[in-house]
Amino acid sequence: MALVRAGWLWRQSSILRRWKRNWFALWLDGTLGYYHDETAQDEEDRVLIHFNVRDIKIGPECHDVQPPEGRSRDGLLTVNLREGGRLHLCAETKDDALAWKTALLEANSTPMIRLKLIHPHNKYLLSCYSAGAPLAMGMLAGAATGAALGSLMWSPCWF
């Protein structure tokens, strides 16, 4: 899966409300994963962002959260999820927080397209007429309508 944005953010734990520094990765499929380090090998958790974010507040808008020790309030992010959960994050700077907000909002609203990959060494035969019975019935109805309209065109000649 393609990576949209990655970087270090502080995350507030849900139980003890302590701040922990994690490597965050926003993926193209609309998921936000956080890891212990930059290698992204050991994933702590993954949050579905795609069509799941209600709103995102940054900086002074985050009233109920205190930033980690030594960090500015301008870097705070609060991600409110539709399921009722919240994700409290803190970036290094205000610009980083704004960039993360923009990336998360884009991931929330971007439609996903899943492509079916075909293996290059296999042969796949696809029918040109894949519609089947509905296509045949449509053609029959069209032919019958054309014949009926065509016969009505000759009616003035009969009188």
Place of tokens 């539709």: 82
Residue type for position 73: R
- pLDDT at residue 120 above 70? no
Structural domains of the chain, ranges and CATH numbers in brackets: 3-114 (2.30.29.30)
Please give the average per-residue pLDDT across 46-61, as a whole number: 86
Q: What percent of the chain has pLDDT above 90?
A: 21
What integer is the mean pLDDT of 61-69?
87
What does the pLDDT read at residue 129?
A: 47
Q: How confident is the model at residue 36 (pLDDT cuts 50, 70, 90)?
A: confident
**Quick one: which of 71, 70, 74 has its CA closest to 57?**
74
Q: How confident is the model at residue 9 (pLDDT cuts 50, 70, 90)?
A: very high
Share of the chain above pLDDT 70, in %: 79
For residue 65, give Cα distances in angstroms to 47, 59, 96, 99: 20, 10, 18, 20
- Least confident range from 15-19, 42-46, 93-97, 130-134: namely 130-134
pTM over 0.75: no
Residue spans of alpha helices (H) in the chain: 94-109, 133-153
CB of 56 within 8 A of CB of 101?
yes
152 versus 141: which is more confidently predicted? 141
Q: Residue 54's pLDDT is what?
A: 87
Q: 38 and 25 in contact (C-beta within 8 Å)?
A: no
- CA-based R_g, the chain, Å: 28
